[in-house]
Structure 1
Amino acid sequence: MHQQKIKISPAIIWISSLFLGVLSSVPQLASHEFNWKEAIVNSAITAAFSVIMWYVNIYMLNRGAGKRRQHISYSRLMTVLAFGMIIMFGLAWIQQLILSHINFGPAMLMVEVRGILINLVCYMFLTLLQNNYAGQQVQLELEKVKSDNLGAQYELLKQQVNPHFLFNSLNTLKSMAETNDSETVDFVIKLSDFYRFTLESRKLDLISVQEEMRIIEAYLFLQKARFGDGITFSNGLKQEDLKSLIPPFTMQLLVENCIKHNIVSQSKPLHIKIYSSEDGIIIENPVQLKMTSEESLGVGLDNIKMRYQHLLEKEIEIHSDEKNFKIKLPLIHEYHHH
């Protein structure tokens, strides 16, 4: 998230600076030895310093606008105060050139103290304004994440309760029951497990890769009952990667896409591989596209991209050529809510 840069109306800067200039001459107005020349010079010096420090503070705060910061930066405050003292010393020297009868030492001390106070007021006001902007942006981003996450969960749920998948599974179950297939009971158990996983996981942001693999095993058992040796699967995940985290049904959706968009047959089996890489998990399959695709591949991939981006600020990698299609998912070893 990029923090919004501070923008102050020039009218506010100039009017407030002129006001501070007039205000600085109030003690002189109340004195018995009032001197118009001293009052005007004093006001002009104060107003000029205020204008300069307004712009210096705005510039310094906007330099760090890309960083997440909602507190006072003391190093930046010290830098601004030091710069302000140098500017005010220069202005005090100009005042001494105009009003040569004034004792430079006490006059310089007085304007330096006044400059520090003005500088502090400018810095604190702008910091509070910047923090208010940052707070509003964080709130807007949280609302966007919440909205996108709900949309992704809804889309994911629609895909999990895919009517085509359920229809095909029930047809397969019917055929198995009619032929007294010995794996009919196992098929019913796996189908039940798959939808139980759906209900249990859809409320979670992340689950372990090991739990995700159980979902895939149940899903592939159901698909192998339909396609037989038309689907082969290899699992090359490292033990430590099984303990990492993943948004639920991410890999299952990618495996489903492999089957949905490629030819699966006894003569041309589809081999799906899931294995570990140095910094991620790769799902790979050979490209043997169907003449007509059931649904757009983009919907599922967009879903996964959105979940990684808004939930974890991570990107997935897609590599495709004429022979192989690979998707690399980044490893997530720990998770903190934004």
Structure 2
Amino acid sequence: MLQKTFKLSNKIIWLSSLFLGILSSVPKIAEHHFNPYEALVNSLITFLFSLFIWYYNIYTLPKFTSRNAISEFSVARLLKSLVVGLGVMFLLACLQQYLLTHLSFGPVMLMIEVRGILINLTFYMFLHLLYQSYQNQQVAIELERTKSDNLSAQYELIKQQVNPHFLFNSLNTLKYMVESDDAGSVNFILKLSDFYRYTLESRKHNLIKLSKELEILQSYLFLLKARFEEGIVLSVRIDQSLCQSYIPPFTLQLLLENCIKHNIVSLQHPLEINIYSDEQYITVENKLQLKKTPEASTGLGLANINQRYIHLQDKEILITVTDTLFTVKLPIIHEDHHH
């Protein structure tokens, strides 16, 4: 989750505080009996208070996060700033009374407190406008970054969906089935057609129902079974209540494809893959039986899935590797999170 801190130039803070300090001494300078020492103390008090209010209001601003952009005017934060400001100004008024003992404390303190309230209100409103503008810029940057990430993820997904190796292997299997007069060849053609129809329909969406994803997976599994026969053993145990949850399209297919790519699949060593659910995750788990000569891997498959989950739900997938198992946990996306 992106977190950034709002900053204001120290030059602006110090120069504006100095300007207010000098401005506050103008009435003293205009008096017939001008007292330089009194004007200097008065300017110093205003300068110190202005510096404090600047830094206090800046450091009490909430940090901008990509998930929680605060744009409302905070009355509670303003009141807190005013109370703190009154306390600080009272202490500074006491300091001024100590330095200028000839002044009447009551009227002077009242004048200083009113000045402090005005400075506090002005700085707070100015900071609020700057912070609002800053947040708007950060939100725009986040939206552009998210769009870019999503387009990249969709591009990688399309490349993986139309996998030329899978199509080539499927057509080879079909050729063998037709040549051997296999009765299942017609059904194979229908399943292949269904699978690519699903591909064309589903890639238009960021999310689809889990029940639909499982249908796509069954068609994909049928095509794999025609090639590997009992070399693949898939077990699916998904709670029925989760079938109405959502999932990025072809996530399960890509994970299944990843299992086959990196592991031995044969009748002598069947590849066991389990898909099951709990309250928070859908888990895809396979027994590790790595190929002696591993295929070149770009790592884009899992990265693509992870990127889509970050984009859609601001959560990452969990990957665990042991000596015997490779496990991927997918966060469950419920309907109220569907955006």
TM-score by length of 1: 0.92
Report the alpha carbon displacement of residue 175 of structure 1 after superposing the two structures with TM.
1.6
C-alpha change, 1:11 and 1:214, in structure 2 (3 Å) is same
Provide Cα deviations, 1:54-88, integer angstroms capped at 9, x if missing partner: 122222226x4566422333322222211110111
Corresponding position of 2:98: 97
Quote the offset at 1:34 in angstroms.
5.0
Identity %: 58
One-letter amino acid of the structure 2 residue matched with residue 317 of structure 1:
L
Cα distance in 1 for partners of 2:255, 2:298 equals: 9
Per-residue CA deviations over 1:230-261 (Å, capped at 9, x if unaligned) read 22222110111211111111111001111222
Within the alignment, does 1:325 sit opposite 2:326 as a pair? yes
Match in the other structure for 1:301: 302
1:238 corresponds in structure 2 to 239
Secondary structure at the residue paired with 1:61?
coil
- 1:81 maps onto 2:82 in alignment: yes
Amino acid in the other structure paired with 1:104: F
Residue in structure 2 matched with residue 9 of structure 1 by the alignment: 9
Give 1:276 shift. 1.1
Quick one: which amino acid aligns to residue 23 of structure 1?
A: L
Q: 1:1-32 CA distances to partner (integer Å, 9 max, x unpaired)?
A: 44432333332222111211222233445555
| SS, match of residue 318 in structure 1 | strand
Give the alignment's Cα RMSD to 1 decimal: 2.1
**How many residues matched?**
336
In structure 1, distance between residues paired with 2:4 and 2:269? 56
Residue 335 of structure 1 pairs with residue 334 of structure 2: no
The range that moved more, 50-59 or 3-12, is 3-12
Ranges in structure 2 where 5+ consecutive residues have no aligned partner: none
- Which letter maps to 1:319? T
Contact 1:257 1:297 (8 Å CA) reproduced = no
Task: Please tell me the residue identity of whatever aligns with 2:15.
Answer: I
Structure 1 residues not aligned, in runs of 5+: none
1:65–1:216 distance in 2 versus 1, CA, 3 Å: closer
User: Contact 1:92–1:111 at 8 Å: present in 2 too?
Assistant: yes
1:102 aligned partner, one-letter code: L
| Aligned residue number for residue 282 of structure 1 | 283
Tell me which residue corresponds to 1:117.
118
Letter of the 1:305 partner, please give it: N
Q: Secondary structure at the match of 2:283?
A: strand
Counterpart in 1 of 2:182? 181
1:96: Cα distance to partner? 2.2
Is 2:64–2:135's contact at 8 Å kept on the other side of the alignment? no
User: Following superposition of structure 1 onto structure 2, how do residues 129-144 of structure 1 map, counting pairs within 5 Å?
Assistant: 129-144=130-145
Question: Distance in 2 between the 1:157 and 1:2 partners?
Answer: 28
Distance 2:322 2:3 in 1: 39
Structure 1 stretch displaced more, 214-223 or 274-283: 274-283
State the SS of the aligned residue for 1:294. coil
Contact 2:246 2:338 in 1 (8 A): no
1:136 is matched by which residue type in structure 2? Q
Corresponding residue number in structure 1 for 2:107: 106
> Residues 184 and 246 of structure 1: is their aligned pair in 2 closer, same or farther, counting only changes over 3 Å?
same
Contact 2:157 2:304 in 1 (8 A): yes
Equivalent residue letter for 2:52:
I
In 2, Cα distance between equivalents of 1:91 and 1:143: 48
